Amino acid sequence: MKAAVVDTFGTPRYTDFPDPIPTGRTEVATVVAAAIKNLDRGLVAGTHYGSAGLALPFVAGIDGIARLDDGRLVYANATQPYGLMAERTLVDPELAADVPADIDPALAAAVPNAGLSAWFSLEYAASVRPGQTVVVLGATGVTGSVAVQLAKARFGAGRVVAVGRNRERLDRLRTAGADQSIVLDGDAGEHLVELHREYPIDVVLDYLWGAPAEQLLAVLGNAGLTASYHRTRFVQIGSMAGPTITLPAGILRSAGVELIGTGLGSVPQEGLARVRTELLPELFTLAADGRLHIDTQAHPLREVAEVWADGEPSGTRTVLVP
């Protein structure tokens, strides 16, 4: 079969790979769509902490949409070495989640990673409560934009503030759940101070890290303000602006900042147990109804090397279709 094969860590190539052989409860399924996520890129590059558990060669794609022999359209995770960026893969039907017939498969492929990441961040890491002020740092990316939408529509945040560099994307988010937007430019620090003064920040979902995180943490640490307590949960999720920051100790001593991360291995078992039966069905329904919007751009699987090198357009999820 044809697949996006990783022979060496770097970029997958479109070539032949042995057909999957069923074992245990798994069966061979026909792949319909698979989205390229930052997690996929990190695993394929060998830079993600999960790459250490991968044996070369393998097929890229940690998850995707596939059709079983009985005709069911399902969302499934990869069974290594058979990723979902291929013509066929292995699926355990008992662990797969049904995909509604009224949702475009390319959109369905884009929903789980961004949707679950945002959901887990909001519910478990941030413990968002109705009426709270939520700041999404890096809101113009796919997962950031989903977090903005879910924070308002699903978790009842009182004020959602989208922060990012792409002004056009920020303007669009004002119609999709954001009450306010802040452009990461020379005036961002002043705007963040004003925000925190008027609407004390309860939660930060950070998809950037690096310099933007340093700037916001300085604001939360009462930079230029009279030291006073306000509990803010700063949830570290992504590092698109850099893998490290400088964090002065005084920031954590001058205010009620709680720093926590979320990602692979940090989601409690109770959350994972809800994915197939509760969370994914709701996310698929929200997307099918148009209440959760994700821009997608479909490409034939044979173009995997080209689109991989091009990167992902701002706020748009690239989806491969065999």
Instruction: Tell me the pairing of strands 256-261 and 231-236.
Output: parallel
Instruction: Read off the tokens for 272.
Output: 């994972």
pLDDT of residue 225: 54
pLDDT in tens, 270-308: 888 899 999 999 999 999 999 999 999 999 999 999 999
pLDDT of residue 221: 87
The β-bridge partners of 317 are 296
pLDDT-derived band of residue 227, with 50, 70 and 90 as boundaries?
Answer: low
pLDDT surpassing 60 at residue 118: yes
Quickly list H helices, 254-322. Answer: 269-272, 280-288, 304-310
pLDDT of residue 273: 87
52-56, Cβ contacts within 8 angstroms, sequence gap of 24 or more: 54/6, 54/80, 55/80, 55/81, 56/6, 56/7, 56/8, 56/9
pLDDT surpassing 90 at residue 268: no
Map residue 236 onto helix, strand or coil.
strand
Average pLDDT over residues 242-249: 94
Residue type, 6: V
pLDDT in tens, 77-115: 999 899 999 999 999 999 999 999 999 999 999 999 999
Instruction: Tell me the pairing of strands 133-137 and 180-183.
Output: unpaired
Distance CA 177, CA 287 (A): 15
Distance CA 7, CA 70 (A): 33
pLDDT in tens, 158-194: 999 999 999 999 999 999 999 999 999 999 999 999 9
pLDDT of residue 85: 98
Instruction: Tell me the pairing of strands 27-35 and 88-91.
Output: antiparallel
pLDDT in tens, 201-222: 999 999 999 999 999 999 998 7
pLDDT-derived band of residue 313, with 50, 70 and 90 as boundaries?
Answer: confident
Domains of the chain: 2-113+269-320 (3.90.180.10), 126-261 (3.40.50.720)
Distance CA 247, CA 146 (A): 28
Short-list 194, 201, 209, CA closest to 144: 209
Contact (Cβ atoms closer than 8 angstroms) between residue 303 and residue 2: no
User: Is the Cα dihedral 240, 178, 196, 258 positive or negative?
Assistant: negative
Residue with the two structure tokens 């991360």: 261
The β-bridge partners of 66 are 31, 74
pLDDT-derived band of residue 226, with 50, 70 and 90 as boundaries?
Answer: low
pLDDT of residue 47: 87
pLDDT of residue 38: 87
How deeply is 2 buried, as exposed, middle or buried, from its count of CB atoms within 10 A (0-12, 13-18, 19+)? middle
pLDDT-derived band of residue 52, with 50, 70 and 90 as boundaries?
Answer: confident
Residue type, 102: D
Residue with the two structure tokens 């039966």: 277
Q: How many Cα atoms within 13 Å fall on the side-chain side of residue 233?
A: 19
Largest CA distance in the chain: 65
Residue type, 67: R
Distance CA 65, CA 289 (A): 19
